[in-house]
């Protein structure tokens, strides 16, 4: 008990008040005791003078005055002390949060995830730390495995440990799996729709019955108080998607994080962009062998390393294209498959579905917003990978004036249809191998004729 008393007294500001309290009590109690002793107790007459002095009523009045002054000073001190600034609650310790709920994460379309080791390490580190950026975007052309990588990240033990809830929202309009393409109805993605989905997947259903402004505030407070990983897949299919990201960033995230996949680069402050290309050669060969083992493609399983390097080279390491090649070797020899995919791509063949999945959305959008960009992409046909050209050379081939050329080139780079390499001021431009084969195939001719 005495230890508790000592701890209480030791706290800043309490010692002076304790002294004042003791003095006040003494001035009130001692006169009263002195009067009782004089009246009730037979004592030495020599002490009567001292007791009369201590029992004088003036001491009690003085004690009461000290008490009133102390009370007034305490009220003044409390009123004049500035309040500490309000700060967001500290992030929950990573090791103590409960296992995340993430019921809408799609099942994997693969048996074994291969490659992207460096990206996985970087992403899990960035998602496990509190400082900005609070939005991370995985960008790249269709078929680079953005969705698979995002799914692999949210299943990473370190990431799962760091979040209480994982929300998955898909704006995907089509998929390509097992060499077949199909369209699907996307989830309606608006800002309020996104907030509703967060509430649903975090089991906060009471929020949904609130009026719009109160619902926004309730969900904002919930996101601030909890660590939530919000994943938005295929953001580029959402109208005005950059405005949605900015609004989410403005005052909603707190210690929560957003992971985006998009075919197009996302322009927003405090956003970390991770562009995905094809797998490097070592990971690409490992991917080919793994996929061949999964489906029993003996031709690829027994192929020499040089043959696998050829597949990797011609597909640019694009996971989706390599899957297609491996799958079609079940029915044709490898040489025939490569020739059909890379050199013909007739409109009625399965390869058309691959090109359609990867390019049609971006191609049609270019036609809507800037036909010059379509023409510039087609003008890059002489640049067979790995050839690249300086900006002046590319402009000369395109025959576009300065402003239309700059606009069109910027759009192609942003939409991952043209690669930009080299330091600032010395940029060079080229094509992904699959983009090169796409613009030389019958697919573009068919789409051009269909749009006329």
> Residue 114: what are its φ and ψ, rounded to 5°?
-120, 135
Q: Note the pLDDT tens digit of each residue in 21-50.
A: 666 666 566 666 666 666 666 565 666 666
Task: Identify whether 107 is part of a domain.
Answer: no
Please say if the pLDDT value at position 179 is more than 50. Answer: no
pLDDT score of 40 = 61
* Single pTM value for the model: 0.62
Domain count, the chain: 4
Task: Say if residues 342 and 314 touch (Cβ distance below 8 Å).
Answer: yes
Task: Identify whether 194 is part of a domain.
Answer: yes
pLDDT score of 175 = 42
Neighbouring residues of 406: CB distance < 8 A, sequence distance ≥ 6: none
Q: What is the mean pLDDT of residues 239-263?
A: 83
Q: If 0-12 CB within 10 Å is exposed, 13-18 middle and 19+ buried, where does residue 416 land?
A: buried
Q: Which of 59, 80, 101 is the last residue of a domain?
A: 80
Tokens for 317, please give them: 């390491």
- How far apart, in whole angstroms, are the C-alpha atoms of residue 1 and residue 52? 38
Q: Which of 275, 294, 321 is the last residue of a domain?
A: 275
The mean of the pLDDT values for the chain is 76
Q: Note the pLDDT tens digit of each residue in 387-408.
A: 889 999 999 999 999 999 999 9
The residue length of the chain stands at 452
- How far apart, in whole angstroms, are the C-alpha atoms of residue 103 and residue 198? 12
Shared domain for 125 and 247, answered yes or no, is yes
pLDDT score of 317 = 87
Q: What is the mean pLDDT of residues 130-139?
A: 82
Neighbouring residues of 347: CB distance < 8 A, sequence distance ≥ 6: 442, 443, 446
Please say if the pLDDT value at position 88 is more than 50. Answer: no
Task: Say if residues 413 and 267 touch (Cβ distance below 8 Å).
Answer: no
- How far apart, in whole angstroms, are the C-alpha atoms of residue 101 and residue 144? 27
Could you tell me the pLDDT band of residue 411, with boundaries at 50, 70 and 90?
A: confident
Neighbouring residues of 263: CB distance < 8 A, sequence distance ≥ 6: 139, 140, 141, 142, 234, 236, 361, 362, 415, 416
- How far apart, in whole angstroms, are the C-alpha atoms of residue 380 and residue 397? 8
CB contact burial 217-239 (16+ within 10 A = b; e otherwise) = ebbeebbbebbbbbbbbbbbbbe
Q: What is the mean pLDDT of residues 259-278?
A: 85
Tokens for 28, please give them: 């009130």
Task: Identify whether 73 is part of a domain.
Answer: yes
Shared domain for 72 and 46, answered yes or no, is yes
User: What is the residue range of 287's domain?
Assistant: 281-344
Task: Identify whether 237 is part of a domain.
Answer: yes
Instruction: Specify the CATH number for the domain of residue 264.
Output: 3.40.50.300
Least confident range from 221-230, 335-344, 422-431: namely 335-344
Neighbouring residues of 131: CB distance < 8 A, sequence distance ≥ 6: none
pLDDT score of 264 = 81
């Amino acid at each position: 008990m005495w230890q508790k008393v000592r701890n209480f007294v030791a706290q800043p500001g309490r010692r002076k008040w304790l002294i004042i309290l003791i003095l006040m009590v003494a001035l009130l109690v001692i006169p009263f005791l002195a009067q009782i002793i004089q009246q009730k107790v037979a004592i030495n007459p020599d002490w009567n003078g001292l007791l009369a002095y201590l029992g004088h009523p003036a001491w009690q009045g003085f004690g009461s005055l000290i008490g009133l002054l102390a009370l007034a000073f305490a009220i003044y001190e409390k009123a004049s002390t500035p309040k500490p600034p309000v700060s967001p609650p500290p992030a929950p310790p990573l090791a103590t949060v409960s296992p995340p709920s993430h019921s809408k994460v799609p099942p994997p379309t693969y048996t074994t995830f291969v490659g992207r080791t460096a990206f996985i390490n970087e992403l899990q580190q960035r998602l496990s730390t509190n400082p900005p950026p609070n939005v991370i975007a995985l960008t790249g052309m269709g078929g680079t495995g953005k969705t698979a990588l995002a799914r692999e990240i949210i299943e990473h033990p370190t990431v799962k440990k760091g979040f209480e809830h994982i929300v998955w929202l898909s704006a995907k309009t089509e998929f390509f799996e097992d060499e077949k393409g199909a369209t699907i109805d996307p989830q309606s993605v608006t800002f309020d729709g996104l907030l509703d989905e967060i509430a649903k997947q975090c089991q906060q259903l009471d929020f949904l019955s609130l009026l719009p402004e109160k619902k926004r505030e309730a969900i904002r407070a919930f996101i601030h108080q909890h660590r939530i990983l919000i994943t938005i897949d295929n953001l580029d299919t959402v109208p005005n998607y950059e405005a949605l990201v900015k609004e989410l960033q403005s005052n909603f995230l707190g210690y929560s994080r957003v992971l985006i996949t998009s075919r197009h680069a996302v322009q927003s402050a405090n956003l970390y962009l991770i562009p995905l290309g094809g797998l490097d050669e070592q990971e690409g060969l490992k991917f080919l062998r793994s996929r061949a083992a999964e489906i029993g493609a003996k031709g690829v399983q027994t192929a020499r390393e040089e043959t696998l390097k050829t597949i990797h080279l011609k597909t640019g390491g694009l996971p989706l294209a390599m899957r297609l090649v491996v799958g079609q070797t079940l029915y044709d020899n490898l040489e025939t498959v490569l020739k059909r995919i890379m050199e013909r791509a007739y409109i009625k063949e399965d390869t058309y579905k691959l090109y359609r999945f990867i390019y049609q959305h971006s191609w049609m959008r270019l036609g809507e917003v800037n036909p010059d960009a379509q023409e510039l992409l087609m003008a890059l046909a002489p640049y067979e990978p790995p050839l690249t050209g300086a900006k002046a050379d590319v402009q000369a081939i395109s025959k576009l004036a300065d402003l239309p050329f700059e606009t069109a080139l910027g759009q192609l780079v942003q939409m991952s249809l043209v690669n930009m390499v080299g330091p600032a001021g010395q940029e060079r431009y080229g094509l992904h191998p699959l983009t090169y084969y796409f613009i030389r195939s019958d697919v573009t001719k068919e789409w051009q004729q269909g749009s006329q």
